[in-house]
Amino acid sequence: MGMGLLVEQVQPETPLKIVMRLGEREPIHATALGKVILADRSEEEILNLLGTDPLPKFGPNSITDVKELIAQLKLVREQTMPSTTKSLLKAFVAWLYLLETLLLRFRPR
């Protein structure tokens, strides 16, 4: 199953706090950031990462069907965003992908 790796945190000024530890892994299909990253991937890449078996359920709104997740991600991609926002999002996702690649390549064994 595809997993995301938390590598940095920024705390908001508001009292809302979600506790995650650096290095903690979360199912990429079950987090908001994971879905943003997946939304920039092709259906083939998503299927290669997640497979076709049912996904684990982590909460009442968890999507467990990969095809349903892909359909939702397609809607996210089709939503109209200003081109500067799209560019920033693509740059952010590219940066995360590069960081993930570097971390996987240079992780201690």
Looking at the DSSP bridge assignments, the partners of residue 26 are: 4
Predicted TM-score (pTM) of the model is 0.56
In degrees and rounded to multiples of 5, residue 56 shows phi and psi of -65, 145
pLDDT in tens, 72-87: 888 877 775 555 666 6
Which position has the token pair 């892909």? Answer: 70
Question: Which domains, and CATH codes, for the chain?
Answer: 3-80 (3.30.450.40)
- How many helices (DSSP H) and strands (DSSP E) are in the chain? 4, 2
pLDDT in tens, 49-102: 999 999 998 878 888 999 999 998 888 777 755 556 666 677 677 667 666 665
Q: Percent of the chain beyond pLDDT 70?
A: 60
Q: What is the pLDDT of residue 97?
A: 64
What does DSSP assign to residue 52? S
Average pLDDT over residues 7-17: 65
